[in-house]
């Protein structure tokens, strides 16, 4: 059979680790994250809340005034940047799919606006939302590219600082 090229092994490692399904704690509540769902409006909103909470936790783990409690080595920065880079890339897909959902709902005449800036004007509402989501896709792409540069720059960084016990 021979030796497999490196890319299938890397792809397999990515699919196996981290596992597809995770249980996380969000505000003292266990919550299962899985690409397979079960998907519903409530589940999707809760997943977005998990993302918000994850960013909050990262902010606390990297607080300078607390001595950067979640960072013990430069390799930790590399690992965080790499995960955030992948997340930024996938976030662009989320924005694109939200955009497509709104456009489809508008096309099928299933939307109305009751109150707010676009009261009674679903076309205006969706047009503005789609424009903003398109900008968010570009921002996610720019974030991905910036994080890819940071990742490339951080590869191989080491320190004499003691590692986690």
List, for residues 10-26, the tens digit of each pLDDT value: 333 344 344 456 676 66
Count of all residues that appear for the chain in the document: 165
Which helix (H) or strand (E) segment holds residue 30: the answer is strand 29-33
Domain map (residue ranges) of the chain: 1-67, 71-165
Helix (H, G, I), strand (E, B) or coil at 25: strand
List, for residues 41-52, the tens digit of each pLDDT value: 998 998 898 888
Pairwise CA distance, residues 34 & 23, whole Å: 9
Is the CB of residue 96 less than 8 Å from the CB of residue 105?
Answer: no
List, for residues 71-116, the tens digit of each pLDDT value: 988 999 999 999 999 999 999 999 999 999 999 999 999 999 999 9
Mean residue pLDDT across the chain: 84
Closest residue by Cα to residue 14 from 76, 71, 89: 89
């Amino acid at each position: 059979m021979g030796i497999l090229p490196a890319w299938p092994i890397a792809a397999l490692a990515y699919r196996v680790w981290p596992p597809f399904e995770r249980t996380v704690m969000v505000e003292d509540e266990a919550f299962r994250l899985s690409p397979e769902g079960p998907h519903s409006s409530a589940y999707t909103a809760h997943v977005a809340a998990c993302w918000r909470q994850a960013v909050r936790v990262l902010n606390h783990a990297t607080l300078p005034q607390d001595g950067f409690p979640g960072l013990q080595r430069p390799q930790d920065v590399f690992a965080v940047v790499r995960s955030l880079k992948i997340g930024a890339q996938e976030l662009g897909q989320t924005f694109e799919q939200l955009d497509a959902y709104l456009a489809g709902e508008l096309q099928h005449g299933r939307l109305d606006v009751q109150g707010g800036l676009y009261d009674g004007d679903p076309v205006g509402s969706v047009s503005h939302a789609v424009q903003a989501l398109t900008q968010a896709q570009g921002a996610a792409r720019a974030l991905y590219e910036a994080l890819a540069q940071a990742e490339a720059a951080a590869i191989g960084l080491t320190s004499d600082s003691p590692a986690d016990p």
